[in-house]
Structure 1
Amino acid sequence: MSPLWSFILFFLIGAVFGSFANVLIYRLPRKLNFVSERSACPHCGKLIAFYDNIPLLSYLFLKGRCRQCQEPISLKYPLVEFGAGLLFVLAFLRFGFSAELFFVIIFGFFLLVLTVIDLEEMIVLDGLLIILAISGLTRLFFHHQLLWWDAGLGLIIGLAFFALVAFFGKVIFKRDAMGGGDIKLAAVLGLWLGWKLMLLNLALTFILAGVLMLLFLAAGIIRRGEETPFVPYMALGALISLLYGETLLEFYLAYIGY
């Protein structure tokens, strides 16, 4: 199969998984069945036909509106499907057909679900963190360059750093600066990344958070003092670290002449 067709195939598979991610994003916080129940319009409650549930294409064909009630369909749905498709392509570009590709896709998929749920509901679901932790531990048997002590140290760094941020934030600002779910996610990310990439992830996370929050403030998307979800920045930093972290570290060390 040519590289182009491989990219197209992985994007389409990713978009299908993105459609499933949308199901999890909507149903998990509401404790709804996500296995046997068919998808329905959140406005009118009518069941969605299979031909109206095709990733990306159905949104375009329906012009962003429910076929039954004509209420607008949230742009979130095609964006999540596109994001999942892009994730699959980037993971394939980086790791090719390998066991690591499989694990990175799992990692990115659940981070995508956690991100959107945090954006919408401001919660981090423990069940998803447990799945990420178990898959991260399983990955250690296949990833010969990531040792158990490396993963354990990464976990400790993530947990300790975010716990300290939460503690000093509480002392200085007299309110919660970091949620418990963020701290637990940081520990799981450290398990996946190991200590070197976890340090890189911490730097990327807070750089991304600082820059993007300033842009959002300037654009009026968020207001000063408003509580904002932090999982999106953590997830983006972690994905960059896992996909391109080794290259970024090599570039940085060469830049400083190490």
Structure 2
Amino acid sequence: MERCVVFLYALLGLLSGAFLNLAADHLPQRHGTLNLACCPYRQTESALVDNVSLLSFLLLRGRCRHCGAPHPWRRPVLELVTMLTFAFFWLRYGASLRLILITLYTCTLFLVFVIDLEHRLVLRVVIFPAIGMAILGSLFYPGLGVRRALVGGALAFAFFYLVAIIGRLVFKRTAMGRGDANLAAFIGVITGFPEVIFALIIAVCLGGLVSLVLVLSRIKRLQSYIPYGVFLVVGGLAILVFGQEIIDWYFGLV
């Protein structure tokens, strides 16, 4: 019975990943609606199965049935990751309110990750409703509470907003966008204070390390834009899911 439930929740993850792919394709283009059955290359109607890229890759070898254009690898990868994540969450949290909230938060972070990586955008149409959802969710999230959530969100937003101001004054250009500050606020709300501090530390360290490697390898220049939202998502997810383990490990070292 347990395996059957895990399979069903993983299947829900597969479908959620397909929806996230559609959102990642349409939202940056400012489309008013998400067309759930449309070829992105010719805007032609396609079968619903075509929108589940893992099935499409198996049945059609990853190509559009209408024009033969290859679908990007991001689509099946995101669906696979989402499916495995859902299965892991069920095994970790079981049937609980925490499971529902963490699933919603993680889907939001996955969507932000993909859009920021591909378009260098953290969309307000995604983040603002997500912040509202997270504040409401903090009323029911075990061990969090509204006060810790709001303090975490305010602290994270203030930190990145201050970094953006200092960067503009020092470098005479936009060092960090408002979207990153909004994303940090969302992460602060879902992790709470003081856990958000560890999420920001992970994001800053990881972002600095990756940026250094890219600059030294001459893939990026010092003035190049780095999608920092990607690292915020990684830090936020790490603390959201493994926060207590990471904090215990850290204090065990010191």
Which residue in 2 is equivalent to 1:185?
A: 183
Q: Residues 79 and 221 of structure 1: is their aligned pair in 2 closer, same or farther, counting only changes over 3 Å?
A: farther
2:51 is the counterpart of 1:53: yes
Moved more, 214-223 or 20-29: 214-223
Partner of 2:245 in structure 1?
247
**8 Å contact 2:211–2:226 — kept in the other structure?**
no
Calculate percent identity across the aligned residue pairs.
31
Query: 1:234, 1:23 → 2: CA distance?
Result: 22
Contact 2:49 2:55 in 1 (8 A): no
Are the structure 2 counterparts of residues 156 and 33 from structure 1 closer, same or farther at C-alpha, using a change threshold of 3 Å?
Answer: closer
Query: What CA deviation, in whole Å up to 9, does each residue of 1:179-217 have, x standing for no partner?
Result: 011111111211111112100001110122123334445
| Equivalent residue number for residue 90 of structure 2 | 92
Which amino acid in the other structure matches residue 102 of structure 1?
A: I
Q: Show structure 1 runs of 5+ residues with no match.
A: none
For residues 105-163 of structure 1, give each alpha carbon's deviation from its aligned partner in whole angstroms, at most 9, with x where no partner exists: 11011111112112222222212112211211221221241132211221121012111
Amino acid at match of 2:184: A
For structure 2, list consecutive stretches of 5 or more residues without a partner in the other structure.
none
Query: Aligned to 1:20, what secondary structure does the other structure show?
Result: helix
Q: Secondary structure of 1:176's partner?
A: coil
User: What is aligned with 2:20?
Assistant: 21
2:98/2:142 contact within 8 Å kept: no
Counterpart for residue 110 of structure 1: 108
Give the distance between the partners of 1:106 and 1:121, measured in 2 at CA: 22
Alpha carbons 1:150, 1:194 under 8 Å: kept: yes
Letter in 2 for 1:210: G
| 1:8–1:218 Cα change, 3 Å | farther
Match of 2:173 among 172, 175, 186: 175
Structure 1: distance between partners of 2:181 and 2:36: 34
Q: Which residue number in structure 2 is paired with residue 159 of structure 1?
A: 157
- On the 8 A contact 1:24/1:34 being kept in 2, the answer is no
CA distance in 2 between counterparts of 1:214 and 1:71 reads 36
Distance 1:15 1:28 in 2: 20
Segment of structure 1 superposing worse, 121-130 or 206-215: 206-215
Q: 1:11 to 1:215 in 2, by over 3 A?
A: farther
Work out the number of aligned pairs and report it. Answer: 254
Indicate the SS of the match to 2:49. Answer: helix
User: Distance in 2 between the 1:213 and 1:236 partners?
Assistant: 15
Note if contact 1:38-1:48 (Cα within 8 Å) is conserved in structure 2. no
After TM superposition, the structure 1 stretch with the greater mean CA deviation from structure 2, 161-170 or 42-51, is 42-51
Aligned match of 1:8: 7
Deviation by residue 1:14-62 (Cα, 9 ceiling, x = unmatched): 1110100111111222232435x34222222322212333341212322
Alignment of 1:150 onto 2:148: yes
